[in-house]
Structure 1
Amino acid sequence: MTTDKVPEFSDHDWLKNIEILKARGLYSLVETVAERLNILAREVSDLAVSDTGGKIYSWADSQLSTLESKTTGITDGANQNAALKPLRVLVATSGGADSVSLLILCALAASFSNSGIEIVCAHINHRMRSQDSEGDALFCAHLAQNLKVSFKQIVATENQMENFLAGGSEESLRDFRYHALESIAGDVDANLIVFAHTLNDQIETYLFRSFRGSSPGGLRGIPCVRRHNKVLIARPLIDITRDQLLEFLTTLGFPWREDVSNQNSKYTRNYIRNEIAPRIFSRFEDFTKSIERTRRMIAEDESLLQSLCVRILPTIESQNKDLWQLSVLNEHPVSLRRRLFADALRSREIEVSFERVEKLLQMTAPSNGTGGEPVQKQSLSLSENWDVICEGDRLLFLDKTAGARVSDARAGEKMSMQPIMVKTPGITIIASLNKCLFVQVADSSASGLKRYPAAEAMEAFVSLEKVDGPLVFRGRQPGDFIQPFGMKEQVKLKKYLHTHKVVLEDDPFGLEKRVISLLACEDEVLWIPGVGLSEKLRAEGKPSHVLKLLDIGIDQSGFA
């Protein structure tokens, strides 16, 4: 039913329509949405949905059902609901039947609730359908006015519209909507965004991911609740069918807008919705229920496996999340390793694909299949910003934005060494040397023999307690000095290097023959790997940290 006009309803009309909804058994939709908004209002302080991608895939989830027992109906329990924090809800409204239903249901639920819920209608205009797009926006504005809720919209710029019309993907359009809605949420201080995805969308998503190829995690479908940054995203209608919503709107006499582009089956989701799903539903009457049962069981199993991964990960990581211990990783079954790698990619904003995860599994698998060490010095480019290096018992995720890309320069070649801030503790990539500097908190069982390294050592147990200021790793500079190990006085670095027979003759071009890389605090040199350590880092008792300068095993021929 496409129209620009929204019927005007008085309070008396609303009460009359509510009685009609009750008579036809549709008022349960209002009760369901109200109950879920009350649960989400409590979530502001109670619900444990993590900020690191935590998601809930069913309104029957124990996290939600626990809170549900604390909520009451929408027509009573004022005293119990009075304790709820105010909830400002942003309702994503396109003008289609699903989102119009959701906006009406939220407005009704808020008006009859004692939870302090405020509704804001949010419309995103992509400007892809000329006058139809303007008609959608006008319709949504009138609908919000009729329901006595605020209206906000974001309109695509000329450049954005041209990009969309030139062949914008479904993903790019979705990303634009999400960013726009998050922007509105920030402007109006909304702490919840609700979308009108239905059970039909859930089934279509399941089919879409099945055809494309997906991990079991992908077959969980669309989460009903998830946290994104400081905003909670929820889908109160995710277990309601589209037919139920159409009946709801028809009963109220409310129109909606039809997006003719939804009939264009060049988009995969539209093809599934228009061509595939109807044929399946006509042949298998219980298909929706069967798929929903399967999806929920997968979600429950995935929740268990994910909780195991969360528990296991700290034992695999060293004191830095970018360094994994492969001997510990390979103690676990491949199903958990696969999930750990998928989570690692996702947390670094790398697209998760079967091929990437399988490559990581192959790189880190024991070379003899019986617990031996992986093949040495393998490396893989994961994305524009991330590489991964596998060597011995270590797997290093290398953040390429932390320094320049690896060059052909190597230690001992003619080059300059720019200062790099050192992470303490952490891993600092020295890309120009093809090395990484580890600064780790020392184990309580650190051996005293390791505290005083040989001059050529690339590892030292030290105390950083006397260091007053940030550490940098750099080349030598005019004015550098060091307090040699075992001595009380300070000497100029040039004299120290001469004493240790480090040749620093200049070549005809004014560059050093041997590059000296060192750890320093301002002008004071603290450690020259392979040459010597400053007395200032001497560990009198228990060392506080261990320093290591190691190869990261990258060369340009090593990238897969």
Structure 2
Amino acid sequence: MQHPEAELVFAVERFIGERQLLLPNDTIVTAVSGGPDSTALLHVLHRLAPRYGWKLIAAHLNHQFRGAESEAEAELVASFASSLGVPCETGVADLPAWIRETGLNAQAAARDRRYAFLTEVAAKHGAERLALAHHADDQAETVLMRLVRGTGPSGLTGMPLTRRIGNLELVRPLLRIYKEELMGYCHEHSLPFAEDSSNRSRKYTRNRIRLDAMPALAGLNPQLPDALNRLADLMREEDDFLRQEAERARAALVTREDGGVAFSRNAFLALHVALQRRLIKLILNYVCGEPELADTADVSDYNRIERIREALAGERTPTLTIDLHGGFVFRRGYDRVWIGRRAACVGIVEGSEPAWLERDWLERGGFQWGDVLQGTVTARTNRDEASKDSSATEAFFDFDRLVFPLQIRFRRDGDRMDPLGLNGSKKVKDMFINKKIPLQARDRLPILEDAEGRILWIPGVGRSRHALLMDDTSRLLAVRIAPEAWKRLVSG
């Protein structure tokens, strides 16, 4: 909904009051870029300030991206603030140098430095609030951009009305006002503003959304910005409801145990699937210290959560271990589930239950499966240092030809293997018989399998023809079973 100019100040005032974005007698830092949006925001807050006892401070950071144009914008902001009698803090950041130093993209680097500067200004003046000039068109573009990139329900909430950084509350009083209204307001009051030339550059995703995608989609729905803003409003409330429900589920089901958290698989599976995903995300945030990814849900994040959820729901393997990135591990033992930090840098997993072996984990050195199996990844410096075949207690694989993640598991009915030297597959049951593996040992022997379900090696039985060492092999995975463990498995 757009407002006539005469009603714009009242609309902003009412929105601030309804959402309690600003309180009486607040000290407010207003970020002013020099563009029409932030110029209008400062002017509106200045008009309302006497009524509410607000103390305003304008703040502008020169990013030094556009040379003389950036200098002119800094001077314009300082002059405009002075004309209103509002103190103005200006800063300079060498963003090109910061980008070279950090490797961040231009927009991320600018955001980081800008917020650092604004929080410094707020601390200097003892400000409780930081007012930002994001408006309704910005919100619509944000929702569409996240949708195009790939997002979950949290991403569709758009930019939050408020966000806390330490003791500072970020607020967006213009999030219900459209760009056209702000431009009209500036013209009506003859407010000086600058047009940022970089806003016309299509090298930025947001600009392509604004300049190309939004106009094209408006041909299908002329009210597209309104529709996207309504979607953000609806999703914000539903996202908040799911967040609260996930917190309740965590409090009811999850307990702290052995340096991590534990919960009942059956109780978890009784939850709705949407709540299961939320609870996993909440647990990863709590245990692993992962940031809350409210603005995105990329493929890797989705896959990690789904993999854990499917591991909990799966019926084929009652016990298993999954390596999580950053030194954490997921363990399921029938009804008990535990997530926490691994005990050592080399992957140590229980030798009595199946385990998943991730590529990045193995690349850090290898794994140890209880006191039974050990795996090491090394550069192949001597072409004759490892046989292409295997012995009863040792096997070698071309690391870069393996399909990850690998799994250590026990035998299943119907298992087949593609043995080295045989053109075809063979029943594992028959291979056990041929190798005279004692009947009582067959359920205890570990089986190494790849992500495609192909058995790579069974100690004492044989290896497959997959991931053989070749002349161009540069890295090898050596997997060994401890001799004493082998004796124990086949004799006990």
Q: TM-score range by the shorter chain?
A: 0.5 to 0.7
Note if 1:378 corresponds to 2:315. no
Change (3 A) 1:291 1:252: same
* Match 2:13 to one of 34, 38, 42: 34
Other-structure match for 1:503? none
CA RMSD between the two structures: 3.3
Other-structure match for 1:406? 345
Note if 1:139 corresponds to 2:76. yes
Shift of 1:178: 1.9
Answer whether contact 2:99 2:109 (CA < 8 A) is retained.
no
Note if 1:362 corresponds to 2:307. yes
CA distance in 2, matches of 1:109, 1:434: 67
Amino acid corresponding to residue 397 of structure 1 in structure 2: G
| Secondary structure, counterpart of 1:223 in structure 2 | coil
* Match 1:243 to one of 180, 190, 193: 180
CA deviations over 1:49-73 (Å, ceiling 9, x no partner): xxxxxxxxxxxxxxxxxxxxxxxxx
| Secondary structure, counterpart of 1:255 in structure 2 | coil
What TM-score does the superposition give when structure 2 sets the normalisation length? 0.63
Answer whether contact 1:265 1:271 (CA < 8 A) is retained.
yes
Answer whether contact 1:366 1:374 (CA < 8 A) is retained.
no
Change (3 A) 1:208 1:116: same
CA distance in 1, matches of 2:64, 2:163: 29
Answer whether contact 1:323 1:395 (CA < 8 A) is retained.
yes
CA distance in 2, matches of 1:304, 1:183: 34
Question: Structure 1 vs Structure 2: percent identity of aligned residues?
Answer: 25
* Match 1:323 to one of 261, 265, 269: 261
CA deviations over 1:295-324 (Å, ceiling 9, x no partner): 322222222211111211112321369413
CA distance in 2, matches of 1:123, 1:249: 19
Answer whether contact 2:34 2:76 (CA < 8 A) is retained.
yes
* Match 2:44 to one of 77, 91, 105: 105
Shift of 1:224: 1.3
| Secondary structure, counterpart of 1:319 in structure 2 | strand
CA distance in 2, matches of 1:86, 1:141: 24
CA distance in 1, matches of 2:312, 2:32: 55
* Match 1:229 to one of 163, 166, 171: 166
* Match 2:110 to one of 156, 159, 173: 173
Change (3 A) 1:127 1:161: farther
Shift of 1:232: 1.1
Amino acid corresponding to residue 42 of structure 2 in structure 1: L
Shift of 1:241: 0.6
Structure 1 unaligned runs (5+)?
1-23, 45-83, 411-432, 436-555
Change (3 A) 1:120 1:395: same
CA distance in 1, matches of 2:271, 2:116: 38
Change (3 A) 1:96 1:315: same
Other-structure match for 1:395? 338
Shift of 1:36: 4.3
Other-structure match for 1:465? none
Shift of 1:177: 1.7
Answer whether contact 1:365 1:374 (CA < 8 A) is retained.
no
Other-structure match for 1:532? none
Shift of 1:369: 3.6
Change (3 A) 1:165 1:248: farther
Change (3 A) 1:105 1:409: closer
CA deviations over 1:205-259 (Å, ceiling 9, x no partner): 1110111111011111111123232111111111111000000010111121111
Other-structure match for 1:343? 282
Aligned residues: 344
Answer whether contact 1:366 1:375 (CA < 8 A) is retained.
no
CA distance in 1, matches of 2:304, 2:79: 53
Other-structure match for 1:209? 146
Shift of 1:126: 1.1
Answer whether contact 2:156 2:231 (CA < 8 A) is retained.
no
CA distance in 2, matches of 1:324, 1:356: 21
Answer whether contact 2:133 2:173 (CA < 8 A) is retained.
yes
CA distance in 2, matches of 1:395, 1:165: 37
Amino acid corresponding to residue 339 of structure 2 in structure 1: L
Answer whether contact 1:126 1:161 (CA < 8 A) is retained.
no
Answer whether contact 2:269 2:313 (CA < 8 A) is retained.
no
Shift of 1:355: 2.5
